[in-house]
Amino acid sequence: MTKQEKVDFVIKTLKELYPTIPVPLDHKDPYTLLIAVLMSAQSTDVRVNKITPLLFAKADNPYDMIKLSVEDIREIIKPVGLSPMKSKGIHGLSHILIDKHNGKVPKTYEELEELPAVGHKTAAVVLSQAFGIPAFPVDTHIHRLMYRWGFTNGKNVVQTEKDAKRLFPEELWNDLHLQVIWYGREYSPARGWDLDKDIITKTLGRKTVLNDYYSKIKK
């Protein structure tokens, strides 16, 4: 297969598997999405979705959030991990949204990444899922699969994002990044990986990945 044929195969397969694409984190607007994505760092979406309703019952907008103390927020979000850093970030960014953005979540990478505890990936998710602005957030699943499929060198997530944006049409980025995440979870996980179920990697996988897989299952 040529590189373009491989890209087309991925697009076609993912579209067939995920014609409708669920959004992993529960939210109702850009602010609640921003908070949920921030909380998801080094945690799971399932855990975050259990905790956000508790937090949002008390504060689902920046004006109510700043009425809580950092310690109040920390107590609620402890189960998602890294609560000291995340609680300070949530409280601090809520102040900034009020002071600089009239309580609204901004729509640019630059302004989002100026917010406490908000990195490039979080900003990309918000732009993509809250505002429909083309972005290709790279999480661990996308980073792993882009390498397994031979689309990037696996060096770092920055390079993976560049390669994904170069290979896939911009109008598909917002759907594709979610489709790849779901595919990674269901068919190509880091642990308990069954290549026979992973049709894309079985078809496109780079030789080093496939050889490594088969050497492990023979042991």
Provide the annotated active-site residues.
121, 139
Residue 85 CA to residue 10 CA, distance in Å, equals 37
Alpha-helical runs (H) found in 107-156: 109-113, 120-131, 140-148
Distances from the Cα of 215 to the Cα of 207, 209, 210, angstroms: 12, 10, 9
Counting every residue, how long is the chain? 219
184 φ/ψ angles, rounded to the nearest 5 degrees? -60, -40
**Residues sharing a CB contact under 8 Å with residue 18, sequence separation 6 or more, in sequence order:** 178, 179, 182, 183
